[in-house]
């Protein structure tokens, strides 16, 4: 039996064994240091599934479809992309209800200062997401079945795809099938 090939795209410093860990920067445990917009150094249809947690939001809105198409390119037929993304809807609801503790930022006297810093994440975030917008982008990139899923739950045949899920109180999760 052939071992599953799984990609952890946008891994940052989280580099678990058994995954192909990919990030823009180099570092310990990062197997592929590359810019997705220039292409991943992986063969077409060579990956069974991909997990990405809070990385896509660092790309400009105009680069989203290109990046998603590149992730789709490396997936095998019926391969699955799982995204964990910061949920703009949740952040807005927390702001409107005055829930200061929701924001991982507490640098400002005003709730609005913390809300804005949280959304921009110190200027790293360049695209904000809602589940509807993520679904639209995934469909535009050529993915077929797109489903919203819960933290640590999957609709895919790969139960271990949820291993990397992070930040459940501020995220939503979506899976898309090639």
Q: What is the mean pLDDT of the chain?
A: 96
Residue 86 pLDDT > 60, yes or no?
Answer: yes
pLDDT at residue 3 in the model: 82
Residue 2 pLDDT > 80, yes or no?
Answer: no
Task: Give the residue range(s) of CATH 3.40.50.150 domains in the chain.
Answer: 6-86+129-177
pLDDT band per the 50, 70, 90 thresholds, residue 149: very high
For the entire predicted model, the pTM comes to 0.96
- Best CA proximity match to 124, nearest among 86, 150, 157, 159: 86
Please state, as a whole number, how many other Cβ atoms lie within 10 Å of the Cβ of residue 81.
27
Q: Tell the residue number behind the tokens 């271990």, with chain if given.
A: 160
Give residue-wise pLDDT tens across range 101-140.
Answer: 999 888 999 999 999 999 999 889 999 999 999 999 999 9
One DSSP character per residue, the chain reads -PPP-EEEET-TT---TTSEEEESS--TT-SEE--GGG--SS-TT-EEEEEEES-GGGS-GGGHHHHHHHHHHHEEEEEEEEEEEEBHHHHHHHHHTT-GGGSS---SSSHHHHHHHHHHTTTT----B-HHHHHHHHHHTT---EEEE-TT--SSS-GGGGGG---TTTEEEEEEE-
Q: Which CATH architecture has domain 6-86+129-177?
A: 3-Layer(aba) Sandwich (3.40)
pLDDT at residue 1 in the model: 52
- Residue percentage of the chain with pLDDT more than 70: 99
């Amino acid at each position: 039996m052939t071992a599953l090939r799984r990609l952890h795209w946008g891994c940052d410093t989280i580099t678990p064994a058994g995954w192909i860990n990919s990030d823009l920067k180099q570092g310990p445990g990062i197997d592929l240091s590359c810019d997705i917009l220039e292409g991943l150094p992986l063969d077409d249809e060579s990956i069974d599934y991909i997990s990405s947690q809070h990385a896509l939001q660092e790309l400009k809105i105009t680069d989203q479809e290109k990046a998603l198409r590149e992730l789709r390119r490396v997936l095998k037929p019926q391969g699955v992309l799982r995204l964990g993304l910061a949920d703009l809807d949740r952040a807005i609801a927390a702001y409107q209800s005055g829930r200061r503790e929701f924001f991982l930022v507490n640098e400002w006297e005003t709730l609005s200062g913390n809300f804005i810093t949280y959304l921009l994440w110190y200027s790293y975030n360049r695209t904000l997401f809602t589940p509807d917008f993520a679904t639209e982008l995934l469909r535009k990139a050529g993915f077929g079945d797109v489903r919203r899923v819960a933290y640590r739950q999957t609709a895919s045949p790969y139960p271990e795809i949820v291993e990397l899920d992070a930040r459940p109180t501020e995220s939503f999760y979506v899976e898309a099938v090639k």
